[in-house]
Each structure stands twice: as structure tokens, then as C-alpha cells.
Amino acid sequence: MLTVAVTWLIVDRVDLGLGELRGLDRSMWLPSPLLFIAASLLLLVAYFVSAAIWGRIVRDLGGPGLPVADSIRMFMIANLGRYLPGKVWQIAGLAALAKGRGVPPATAAGAAVIGQGIAVVAAAAVGMGALLGGPDPYPTWGLVGLALVVLAALLLAVPTVFQRIVGLWFRLTRTAARPEVGGMHALRWLALYTVNWAMYALSFWVLARSLGFGGAPIPVASAFAAAYVLGYAMVFAPAGLGPREGFLIIFLTPHLGAAPAGVLAIVARVWTTLVEVVPAGIFWLGHMARPSAAADTPEERAP
């Protein structure tokens, strides 16, 4: 109920009704096949890059070097937990799956938690284009948000600050060994996640083009990242379902109009879910079919 209420309040700001969406030409809902395939492939690659970055962080935190294919498989399977209420199921599943590959649970989960925090900062940086390129008073809020992002990046770059953040995690998990990581690691991960989120934003822009929508590329593309950050903050909404679409409509309406923004937000939700869940399901079936699956612990079977 809370998800529905928040979504309704957000969408009500742009005066968009279901009747208006139903009255649109059906062709507006049908993407160009070639551009849609290109957008989907780019989004899938972005998911895989996220997985590879997680594997890199695992290694930097003192874990074993995971093959990229293993990182992708475990990360995608664990992502199925994002569709449950709360933010812990994805991390718990990733820790359980990684344990079967010799990664200490605290390291696997720490890479996910710390990496997700840095990824949100990167998404916010990419999402600033939606505010800076929007109508008043969006640019003012964009400058404030940009200052906060820069401040967060500077804090992460301070060796003692980042070492304390990482050390706090390993103390909370009662792990004796603490990795030697510093500000350069944080900046490296932030740079990787920023490129990763630029890929997500680009794939969304290609999706918008596949539906025939125009709009300036930077505000439209970055709206996807900005809506993700705000939807992620709504911890009660599984995978940001509802609030993310509402914020996306708000950011896109000045550039596309309310009705096209509503269409794009709905199509984008179905699109991102299918591109994520279908490969993850295939990876999960392959995981369960492995000969060693029968010997896995129950924890490993609960992504």
C-alpha cells in the first residue's frame, strides 16, 4: 500500500491519468525492433559489467580472483533477490553463492555492500544531467546534488576515511583479517561504476529512440540514473517498483510530455525486468543442474 500511495503522489504531480495512457496510439507502445535489440544488448552488457566490477572488488578486498564468467553467473542469480522487499536478499544470496567458490561470506557481502554504496554515488553523478538540464528549479537542485556527489567522492578518496568504512564492515562481521585498501581503490571503483552507469543511461536512451521519442540525449538518458537513485532510497519498494517509474515520469515530462514519459517509464520497467530476470533464470537453472549442486549447502541454494 505504501508503494502505491507514494507512486500515486509522484505521478499526480504531472497530472497523468490511466485514461490518457489508454487513449494513446498503440504504435507508441511498439518499439523499432533493431533499436530495441540494441538497447537490450547494451543493457545486458551493463549488467555483466556490474558483475565484473563486483568480482574486482572481491579481489581487492583480499578474496580470490574469480573468473569473470563466475562473477556474472553468481551476480545475476543473486539479483533475483532484488525483487523481494528489502535490500538484503540480493546480498545474502551473493554471499551464499560466492562461498561455494571459496570467497569468505564477509568478503563477498562486503564487496556487494561497499560496491552498491559507491554505485549509488556513480548513478547520482550520471543522474545530475536530468536536473541540470531540466526546467527551474531543477538546475538549482542539480547544483546542490552535484556538490554532494563531489563531496562524497572526495571523502572516499581520503585514505583514513575509506579505510575506516571498510574496517567497520569487517568489524561488524567479526572478520579478523582486514584488507589493505585506500582512497585509490575507492576512486577506481567509482570510476568503473560511473562508466557502468553511463552504459545503463545510454541503453535507456536507445530504448527511448526505439519508441520514436526525441528529447535532448543527456537529460533523457540521465533521467534513468536519477530515478534509480530515488527509487533505491524507497526501501519498501522491491527493485524500486512504482516510485522509480514515478520519478522517471517527472524527469522526462519536461522533455517528452507527460503521456510519452508515462509510456517510456512503463516500457522501461518491463524491459529492464526481462533483460535481467530471463538471463538470471537461465543461470539459476544451470546452477541447479550442475552435478555439484546436490552437494551444495542449503544456504548456497537461497539467492
Residue 60 · residue 185 · CB < 8 Å: yes
User: Looking at residue 99, what is its pLDDT?
Assistant: 87
User: Which residue positions in the chain have pLDDT lower than 70?
Assistant: 1-29, 85-87, 174-178, 235-240, 291-303
**Helix locations, 133-257, DSSP H:** 138-157, 159-172, 183-210, 217-233, 243-256
- Contacts (Cβ under 8 Å, ≥6 apart) of 215: 208, 252, 255, 256
Q: Exposure of 159 by Cβ count < 10 A (0-12 exposed, 13-18 middle, 19+ buried)?
A: middle
Residues 6+ apart with CB under 8 A from 40: 203, 271, 275
* Model pLDDT, residue 176: 56
**pLDDT value, residue 194:** 97
| One-letter identity of residue 273 | T
Question: Domain limits of the chain?
Answer: 30-290
Return the pLDDT at 251.
Answer: 93
Here the cell at position 188 is: 577506481
pTM of the model: 0.84
Cα–Cα distance, 105 to 166 (Å, whole number): 15
The position carrying cell 530515488 is 230
pLDDT at 240: 66
Q: How many CA atoms lie within 13 A of 77 on its CB side?
A: 24
**Is the separation of the CB atoms in 256 and 220 below 8 Å?**
yes
